């Protein structure tokens, strides 16, 4: 993620929307790429955005699809987006629904603009900003939760090993893999036998220390994210 963060705002009340827009876009950290009055409008305008938004600030009480109802649609289109919900309500039900639907944070509308900015930056940094009372609900709910299995993810492997360089042919074939092609299609594309593809892949796996197509692509994904 790099400066300025591509930001989208979804809010139906024109005055609030304008206030948010004006304030946030005046900040050097943000770039407003999309401002909409409803989830439907947002999804419709999405293809026209110059840059896909990384940060989305969405009201919950929207006409049509509510912010929470719209979240799955947004996340399907922008899986990497951090969505912050904005609401006048601080009730546990709404908070839980929103977080379960995939929001990373939940802010109240009485949040001062300066703090809102801080929260947005916080979210961009991988945090989960919540207004005071809201965080409390979440922690409370936690205390009552049954013991769960740890669901970890942050795997940071030492891929800084001496990288054995791929040959040109190998890189071509890796591009094919990353394009989602099967061995057969790669073989066709380069007019070679599928056995040859296999052998190149084999060499690539050894050099990159992976042992499946999925790992190879996960590699590419990780590289891309910085």
Q: Which residues bind DNA (CB under 7 A)?
A: 146-154, 167-170, 182-184, 190, 192-196, 198-202, 205, 211-214
Report if residue 212 touches a second copy, rule: CB under 8 A: yes
- Compute the distance between CA of residue 110 and CA of residue 75 in angstroms, rounded to an integer: 26
Please choose, out of 15-23, 24-32, 110-118, 119-127, the segment that lies near a second copy by the rule CB under 8 A: 119-127
Angle at 72 between CA 43 and CA 3, to 5 degrees: 65
- The residue with tokens 């049954």 is 146
Residues 6+ apart with CB under 8 A from 37: 10, 11, 12, 14, 17, 62
- Compute the distance between CA of residue 125 and CA of residue 190 in angstroms, rounded to an integer: 42
Min dist. Cβ of residue 199 to a second copy (A)? 18
132-191: contacts with a second copy (CB under 8 A): 132-133, 135-136, 138-145, 147-153, 155, 157, 160-161, 163-168, 171, 174-175, 177-182, 189-191
Q: 200 contacts which partner out of DNA, a second copy, none, CB within 5 to 8 A by kind?
A: DNA
Min dist. Cβ of residue 166 to DNA (A)? 8
Q: 130 contacts which partner out of a second copy, DNA, none, CB within 5 to 8 A by kind?
A: a second copy
Q: Are strands 55-59 and 5-10 parallel, antiparallel or unpaired?
A: parallel
7-26: contacts with a second copy (CB under 8 A): none
Query: What does the radius of gyration of the chain's CA atoms come to, in whole angstroms?
Result: 22
73-102: contacts with a second copy (CB under 8 A): 73, 75-80, 91-93, 96-97, 99-102
Instruction: Tell me, by CB under 8 A, how many residues bind a second copy.
Output: 93
Q: Kindly tell me the burial class for residue 152, based on how many C-beta atoms sit within 10 Å of its own C-beta (0-12, 13-18, 19 or more).
A: exposed
């Amino acid at each position: 993620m790099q400066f300025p963060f591509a930001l989208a705002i979804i809010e139906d009340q024109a005055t609030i929307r304008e206030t948010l827009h004006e304030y946030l876009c005046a900040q050097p950290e943000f770039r407003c790429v999309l401002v909409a009055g409803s989830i439907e409008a947002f999804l419709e305008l999405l293809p026209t955005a110059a840059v896909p938004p990384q940060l989305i600030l969405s009201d919950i009480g929207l006409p049509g699809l509510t912010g929470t109802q719209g979240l799955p649609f947004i996340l399907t289109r922008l899986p990497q987006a951090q969505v912050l919900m904005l609401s006048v309500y601080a009730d546990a039900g709404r908070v839980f629904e929103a977080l379960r639907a995939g929001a990373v944070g939940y802010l109240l509308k009485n949040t001062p603009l300066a703090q809102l900015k801080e929260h947005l930056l916080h979210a961009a940094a991988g945090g989960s900003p919540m207004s005071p009372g809201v965080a409390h609900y979440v922690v409370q709910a936690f205390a009552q939760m049954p013991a769960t299995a740890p669901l970890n993810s942050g795997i940071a492997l030492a891929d800084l090993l001496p990288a054995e360089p791929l040959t040109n042919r190998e890189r071509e074939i890796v591009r094919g893999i990353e394009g989602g092609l099967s061995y057969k299609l790669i073989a066709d594309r380069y007019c070679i036998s599928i056995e040859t593809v296999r052998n190149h892949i084999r060499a690539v796996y050894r050099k990159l220390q992976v042992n499946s197509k999925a790992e190879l692509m996960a590699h590419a994904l990780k590289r891309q994210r910085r």
